[in-house]
Chains A and B, each alone.
Chain A
């Protein structure tokens, strides 16, 4: 009898785990947003070891030779809560998770430079996925912001 009860527990646990991963039972109310600031340049061939895992495919698309991690910041934000990340060049990125559904989070991004709004966007970011936002010139290269979410 005890053996059968244990088997039943295992079955229930596995079933719940499967449904849990299907995101049908537990609704997420907060997520962790990370913003890595990368300086891409062509003056040398240095690639930050911390970036190698993420940069590999980018290297085949861009003609930069070096990728340096300038800063890394993480925010734990609830849905509807805004967080601000300071970026080089007097830039700020305002991040607001708006909804988490299934494997994606709806996130509003507001990029500002000094007091001016550069762009405003709404993205659906995959759980543990990355959005690379790049372009601004900085020092002898260009900035790339790797924005990722996890929940």
Chain B
């Protein structure tokens, strides 16, 4: 992209020339123009001086930074944030699930233990409060282990009965 008249000042082209963003033809054209144009020469000189000054300051600022210490500082800060987020706070957050779950599990254990595991010693399966009748004999006893109550009687008129069955 060449300018048709090299004697006319073109600021946009000048900026591109200073940035090195021109083709060979434009460079020749601008060099010819700058050589002939005092105003553009001054502008080029001023911009180059400004650019140099900026580069110097940036370089000075970069030189004054201790990157090792900065890296350490950033790492420490990141680690602190990670620990506070993933450590204690996560544990505290999980408590709202752990506590109800523990209470429920405890109640389940208590319920199961008191109703199914903790079996009371066997009691007589039946307690006979009263007994009347017309029999020749009656015995009340219970089995030794499970305490099943047994009522054994012999009818008065029962000639076939076996009183000695037990």
Binding site for B on A (CB under 8 A): 3-4, 7, 10-11, 14-15, 17-18, 21, 40, 57-58, 60-64, 104, 106, 111, 113, 116-126, 129-138, 142
Contact with A along B128-166 (1 / 0, CB 8 A): 111111110010000111101111111100111110011
- Contact call A135/B153, Cβ cutoff below 8 A: yes
Q: Which residue from chain A places its CB closest to the CB of B123 in the assembled complex?
A: A126
Q: Which residue from chain A places its CB closest to the CB of B154 in the assembled complex?
A: A135
Main secondary structure, interface of A, reads strand
Cβ distance A55 to chain B, nearest Cβ, rounded Å: 10
- Contact call B111/A137, Cβ cutoff below 8 A: no
- Contact call B132/A130, Cβ cutoff below 8 A: no
Q: Does B94 contact A (CB under 8 A)?
A: no
Known: A124-B126, A132-B149. A10 touches B104 (CB 8 A): yes
Q: Does B121 contact A (CB under 8 A)?
A: no
Query: Which A residues touch B151, using CB under 8 A?
Result: 121, 131-134
Q: Which residue from chain A places its CB closest to the CB of B126 in the assembled complex?
A: A131
- Contact call A62/B166, Cβ cutoff below 8 A: yes
Main secondary structure, interface of B, reads mixed
* B107: contacting residue among A11, A62, A125, CB under 8 A: A11
- Contact call B166/A123, Cβ cutoff below 8 A: no
- Contact call B131/A121, Cβ cutoff below 8 A: yes
Known: A62-B165, A135-B154. A11 touches B128 (CB 8 A): no
Q: A57-B143, A134-B151 are in contact. List 14 more A-B contacts (CB 8 A).
A: A21-B115, A63-B165, A113-B155, A120-B130, A121-B151, A130-B148, A131-B149, A131-B151, A132-B151, A135-B155, A136-B158, A137-B155, A137-B161, A138-B160
**What separation, in Å, do the CA atoms of A104 and B149 have in the docked complex?**
14
Query: Which A residues touch B146, using CB under 8 A?
Result: 57
